[in-house]
Structure 1
Amino acid sequence: MGLLDLLFKRGKNKLRNEFAAPLPTSLPAPLGLRIGASVEFDLLPIRMHQDSFRFALPIADQPMIVAAQGRFELDEGVRIHRFYSEESTMLQLLTRGSGELANVEEITLYVPYECFYPDGEAQWSRWSGLNGRIGAPEFRLTDGTTYTRIWFDNEPGWVRPVRYTETVHDEPDPRSASRRIVQEAMLYGRHITDSERAEYLLVTREETDGEASVSLMVGIDLDRSAMKIL
């Protein structure tokens, strides 16, 4: 068998296998998280230092209902899964591997803090242009709270934000219509005084359907034991 015959045979077998494989009927559900799930949080350690956080605690005894699910992939088999409530609270899981063998390595709960809608090239340049606010070594909120850059923390000066495209579903069927959100983001953080906790600030330029904005979300790490998923 010649080289071309071998390549064509392999190509045909690949196509045959792809068409024969059943399409997935549900989105990935790490830890059982999925659209429609109810998530209860035990945030007592955070409530003890509530005044020190910019993180707005969920109302006690009010679970988060997952209304949408997003996902994107990074290098080396790392996947980011995001679960959103109607109020835009975001529960983020970082997993490594695939399928049932995927390991959950990080769990972070984010809540919206502020949103900006820059108008014109000059305003956008101050946010996401060269030496803009997204990617600076520090990020300061309007109340003076300062966060230091976590990603590329050893790099001097401004660094280019991380760019990725998140696919978001509002229905549990992966074949349903989805939204693609192009994002340029940088992660910042600060240590909470008199606490072993850290607080994160995720600053993101988001663009979808021709509309763009800048979102600020504050977040905290969670242990699995701090969540009850129903």
Structure 2
Amino acid sequence: MFDRLFGRKRSLEGSALPIVRNVTLGRSIVLDPLAWRRFGDALRFPFDRDTLQIVAQGQVTLNDGGFVHRFYTDDDVMFQAVSNDAAGQDVTDVTLFAPWDSQYPTMPFDRPAWLQRLTARTFTAEGLPEYRRFWFGDEAVKQEPVTFWEDLHDDRDGIVDRRIFQTSMLFARDLDGDGRELLLAIDQENEAGEVSFEIMLGVALELGEFRA
């Protein structure tokens, strides 16, 4: 999903990556599989393991002052923690996402059409049910998606190895009981100008449902 670019860039500050709830690049995360298996076949979330080996780490600074810390496996499963601080000590939200689909534009109108889908009240894709806009609520017919740069690291020296510009929107659908499945739809472009469209499915995690 995230293609390596040639060259390396200096970190914005510091020489090491944050350790978030004991999670960082090079470590393993052990998950409680009941966090998603309890929903059985109702969940489309394509995940079948309880341990993640982290091989890359991403950092995002949000416009509202928040921070997103992302941890990736070699097959692009993403463990994500949102915090109020850059060091990741004040975590407010944790989610686990797995790739569902990845496509590349082949025609000039492909990208505008995809970006238009990210503004809609609902989102559907082949093989999936309908999901409703989760960010900003679904009252408005259209809603502009969220945009940001993600700095990606392949080792702990604090040097940015790749930067990806992302335009994304989060959708969700309710499951029986108190469950919810998330769908993250992304338009991403690397510094070489290569564009792809990504769909990831996920679930929210409680702080007690993982350890590293």
TM-score clears 0.5:
yes
Counterpart check, 1:39 vs 2:9: no
Q: Residues 179 and 53 (structure 1 numbering): CA distance in 2 closer, same or farther, change over 3 Å?
A: same
2:20: which partner in 1?
30
Give the drift of 1:157.
Answer: 1.3
Q: How far off its partner does 1:158 sit?
A: 1.8
Q: Distance in 1 between matches of 2:138 and 2:127?
A: 27
User: How much has 1:71 moved relative to structure 2?
Assistant: 0.6
The answer (yes or no) to whether the contact 2:19–2:87 under 8 Å persists in 1 is no
TM-score norm. by structure 1 comes to 0.81
TM-superposed CA distance for 1:143, in Å, is 2.5
Aligned residue pair count: 199
1:118 equivalent to 2:105? Answer: yes
For 1:150, the equivalent position in structure 2 comes to 134
- 2:154 corresponds to which letter in structure 1? D
Q: Which residue of 2 aligns with 1:55?
A: 45
Per the TM alignment, residue 29 of structure 1 is displaced from its structure 2 partner at its CA by 1.1
What's the counterpart of residue 68 of structure 1?
Answer: 56
Task: Write out the 4+ residue segments of structure 1 that deviate beyond 4 Å after TM superposition.
Answer: none
Aligned residue identity for 2:53:
I
Contact 2:132 2:138 in 1 (8 A): no
SS in 2 for 1:127: helix
What are structure 2's unaligned runs of at least 5 residues? 1-12
CA contact (8 A) 2:35 2:209 kept: no
2:187–2:197 CA contact under 8 A, matched in 1? yes
Matched, 1:108 2:108: no
Within-5 A mapping of 1:49-198: 49-60=39-50, 63-99=51-87, 102-128=89-115, 132-175=116-159, 177-193=160-176, 195-198=177-180
Alignment identity in percent? 30
By how many angstroms is 1:52 displaced?
Answer: 0.4
User: Whose radius of gyration is greater, 1 or 2?
Assistant: 1
Higher helix share: 1
In the alignment, structure 1 segments of 5+ residues that lack a partner are: 1-22
1:77-119 CA-to-partner distances (Å, cap 9, x unmatched) read 310000000010000000003447x310000000001111121
Q: Which position in structure 2 is the counterpart of 1:17?
A: none
RMSD: 1.6
Structure with the greater relative contact order (CA < 8 A, sep ≥ 6): 1 or 2? 2
Please state how far the C-alpha of 1:225 moved relative to its aligned partner. Answer: 1.1
Q: Which moved more, 1:153-162 or 1:209-218?
A: 153-162
Give the whole-Å Cα distance in 2 for the aligned partners of 1:44 and 1:155. 32
CA distance in 2, matches of 1:98, 1:80: 8
How far did 1:49 drift?
1.9
Which SS does the other structure have where 1:121 is aligned?
coil
Please name the residue that 1:226 is paired with: 209
Query: Structure 2: how far apart are the matches of 1:205 and 1:157?
Result: 20
- 2:17–2:158 contact (8 Å) kept in structure 1: yes
Separation in 1 of the partners of 2:138 and 2:126?
A: 26
